[in-house]
Amino acid sequence: MQIRVLVTDRALTQVGPPLAGVRDLDVELRHMTAGAGTFTVPATPVLLEQLAAGNRIVVQRRAGLGRPWDVFGAGPLEAEPGEWEWSANPKDGSAGLGRISVPFSTDEAYVVERVTFPVPGQPATAQVASAVWTGAGNAEAVMRSVVDLNAGPGAIAARRVPGLVLGALAGVGGNVSISTRFQPLGDVLRTLALAGGGLGWRVVQVGTTLEFQVFAPRDLSGTVRFSRGLGNLRKFRWQPKSPTCTVAIVGGQGQGTARTIRERVDAAAVTRWRRVEKFIDQRNTSVLAELDQAGDEALADGAEQLGLDTETIDTPRQAFGVQFGLGDRATVELPTGVVLTDVVTSARLTGDAKRGYRVSSTVGTRPQSADLAWLAEVRRIRRRLQNLEAV
């Protein structure tokens, strides 16, 4: 596997030659959110000029000589020029100039860093025509619309992400309905993806454009397998947990006895475990479909956790980006013979030209995502505050 690192400007035009002297490359892609990366380079004047604010990093890989270069991960610089470290050690490979640590995000950051305007065609100071933006219909179409109006070609000039376009229609997803007011766009997309039948989304560099793509993750559990015997399972941790919500009671608009109440039940979880009720305050809407979606999201957040956390490695017969990708379901066989299936949640490329490169993937919950319960609680609090704002 060969790796090269390029720099582009905002218009995705390459700035200078591929970076020389790249070491300690570490870039992680994450399912339906922004990933991050970092590497070090010698602090030469040419490289300092390339690493200007607003520029992007593009990490490309190819399987071998004569094979095409593919984009593994790319996105905006997060510092200019980055942390600069110098020492008198002549072996640091920087010709006495010191080395710069370059941090960057993946292109999904352009989307998750936006909020949804109630009236996307007007600036923030002129949001008077409507209290909320509403969308209904096919989930993919609504997801594309909310991105287009808040970050894409359909947004007002000040909010357009350079080069961001809508990818080809995938023709996926069920019907959804949503009302949103200054919510993080990433949260809205997550809600729509879940309500639309477990969809996924990503931002992919295609030539000189950034495509927002909606896709249906594949169930590859019958063909993509990781196990100790196959030599592609490096480690695992299995911590199953019972559900924290099996019945969601959703309160919509209205007060007292006039308030709209909906109930969503995970019947299988109630039978397997017990009835665990949670009240969801959704007073910003009376649309039944939106209330039901809020209940379904609460059930998903509080569902029984498989608690599977693995680290896998690519092999010639089974590689990330070739046989499987983010969001796909894969099978993990534990040394005890227990077979589990879960979602590929991240992929990580590490190494340098001297030591070689390795791609590893995570199937299931990320290690630090004991955070997940905390993040779900933050989303719940945010929704309650936004509901109060909308009254």
Whether the predicted pLDDT of 366 surpasses 50: no
Give tens-digit pLDDT for 7-46.
999 999 999 999 999 999 999 999 999 999 999 999 899 8
Spatial separation of the C-alpha atoms in residues 252 and 262, rounded to whole Å = 8
Domain stops at, among 58, 84, 106: 106
Q: Do residues 6 and 70 share a domain?
A: yes
Whether the predicted pLDDT of 343 surpasses 60: yes
336 vs 264, residue with greater confidence: 264
Give 297-366 as a 3 state SS string. Answer: HHHHHCCCECCEEEEEECECCECECCCECCCCEEEEECCCCCEEEEEEEEEEEEEECCCEEEEEEEEECC
Give tens-digit pLDDT for 73-110.
999 999 887 788 776 666 666 667 888 999 999 999 99
Max mean pLDDT range (150-159, 247-256, 283-292): 150-159
What is the pLDDT averaged over residues 161-183? 94
For residue 314, the enclosing domain spans 225-240+306-363
Residue 170 neighbours by CB under 8 Å, 6+ apart:
140, 213, 214, 215, 216
Give the position of tokens 């470290």. Answer: 85
Global pTM?
0.81
Give the bridge partners for 248, in sequence order. Answer: 264, 278
Give tens-digit pLDDT for 184-242.
999 999 989 988 999 999 999 998 999 999 999 999 999 999 998 888 998 888 878 88
Q: Do residues 48 and 169 share a domain?
A: no
Say what the pLDDT of residue 91 is.
66
Say what the pLDDT of residue 369 is.
32
Say what the pLDDT of residue 295 is.
93
Say what the pLDDT of residue 1 is.
82
Alpha helices in 57-131 (DSSP H): 109-112
In a domain, 391, yes or no: no
Q: Do residues 27 and 73 share a domain?
A: yes
Indicate the residue type of 10: R
Q: Do residues 124 and 174 share a domain?
A: yes
Say what the pLDDT of residue 391 is.
37
Say what the pLDDT of residue 154 is.
97
Spatial separation of the C-alpha atoms in residues 387 and 131, rounded to whole Å = 11
Helix, strand, coil percent content, the chain, rounded in steps of 5: 20, 35, 40
Residue 54 near residue 11, CB atoms below 8 Å:
no
In a domain, 131, yes or no: yes
Spatial separation of the C-alpha atoms in residues 205 and 2, rounded to whole Å = 19
Q: Do residues 236 and 339 share a domain?
A: yes
Q: Do residues 131 and 55 share a domain?
A: no
Give tens-digit pLDDT for 291-330.
998 999 899 888 887 777 788 899 888 999 999 999 999 9
The full DSSP string for 131-186 is S-EEEEEEHHHHHHHHHHHHTSTTS-GGGPPTTEEE--------EEEEEESS-BHH
Residue 165 neighbours by CB under 8 Å, 6+ apart:
152, 153, 209, 210, 211, 212
Domain stops at, among 79, 106, 133: 106
Can you read off the two tokens belonging to residue 376?
């779900």
Spatial separation of the C-alpha atoms in residues 306 and 363, rounded to whole Å = 11
Instruction: Please calculate the CA angle 145-379-201 and round it to the nearest 5 degrees.
Output: 35
Q: Do residues 310 and 334 share a domain?
A: yes
Spatial separation of the C-alpha atoms in residues 86 and 98, rounded to whole Å = 4
Q: Do residues 339 and 256 share a domain?
A: no
**Buried/exposed code over 282-293 (b: 16+ C-beta within 10 A; e: otherwise):** bbbbebeebbbb
Say what the pLDDT of residue 284 is.
82
Q: Do residues 296 and 333 share a domain?
A: no
Instruction: Please calculate the CA angle 93-99-104 and round it to the nearest 5 degrees.
Output: 125
Helices (H) and strands (E) in the chain, counts: 7, 21
In a domain, 374, yes or no: no
Say what the pLDDT of residue 135 is.
94
Give tens-digit pLDDT for 111-126.
999 999 999 999 999 9
Q: Do residues 98 and 42 share a domain?
A: yes
CATH code of 12's domain:
2.30.300.10
What is the pLDDT averaged over residues 339-353? 90
- The CA–CA distances, whole Å, from 69 to 1, 30, 72 equal 10, 21, 9
Say what the pLDDT of residue 87 is.
66
Of all residues in the chain, the percent with pLDDT exceeding 90 is 63
In a domain, 388, yes or no: no
Can you read off the two tokens belonging to residue 305?
């956790």
Indicate the residue type of 329: R
User: Looking at the 3D structure of the chain, how many domains does it have?
Assistant: 4
Say what the pLDDT of residue 371 is.
37
Give tens-digit pLDDT for 174-195.
999 999 999 999 999 998 998 8
Element (H, E) at 25: strand 23-30
Q: Is 92 exposed, middle or buried (0-12, 13-18, 19+ CB in 10 A)?
A: middle
Give tens-digit pLDDT for 123-161.
999 999 998 999 999 999 999 999 999 999 999 999 999
Q: Do residues 158 and 120 share a domain?
A: yes
